[in-house]
């Protein structure tokens, strides 16, 4: 099962990215554990400077912008 994390302090872009992840999973019927990381201390562990960050299986895929549903679907298929 895939592990997906959306890192961000809860800003509108972060919330949109999180919603887009859920929509992409719904469209593809892929099962995944989705975690929203809003804790600054936790985010610092990943050494990121820009949010939101989309991570799939502990690998940063998209950072600093909203991940679109079709992009997420493509990343999930890999």
- What residue segments make up the domains of the chain, in order of their start? 2-77
Cα torsion 62, 51, 39, 43: sign: positive
Catalytic residues: 11, 14
Reported as type and span, the H/E element at residue 44 is helix 40-44
Walk along the chain (78 residues) and give the pLDDT tens digit of each residue: 999 999 999 899 999 999 999 999 999 999 999 999 999 999 999 998 899 999 999 999 999 999 999 999 999 988
Report pLDDT for 36: 96
Report pLDDT for 49: 86
Cα torsion 65, 13, 8, 27: sign: negative
Which pairs from 25-30 meet CB under 8 Å and 24+ separation? Answer: 25/76, 27/69, 27/73, 28/73, 28/76, 28/77, 30/2, 30/76
CATH of 2-77, one of 3.30.365.10, 3.40.50.450, 3.40.30.10, 3.40.50.1970: 3.40.30.10
DSSP secondary structure letter of residue 68: P
Report pLDDT for 14: 95
């Amino acid at each position: 099962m895939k592990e997906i994390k959306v890192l961000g302090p809860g800003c509108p872009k972060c919330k949109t990215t999180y919603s887009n992840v859920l929509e992409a999973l719904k469209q593809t019927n892929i099962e995944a554990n989705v975690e929203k990381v809003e804790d600054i201390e936790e985010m610092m562990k990943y050494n990121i400077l820009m949010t939101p960050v989309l991570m799939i299986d502990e690998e940063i895929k998209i950072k600093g912008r909203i991940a679109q549903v079709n992009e997420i679907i493509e990343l999930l298929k890999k």
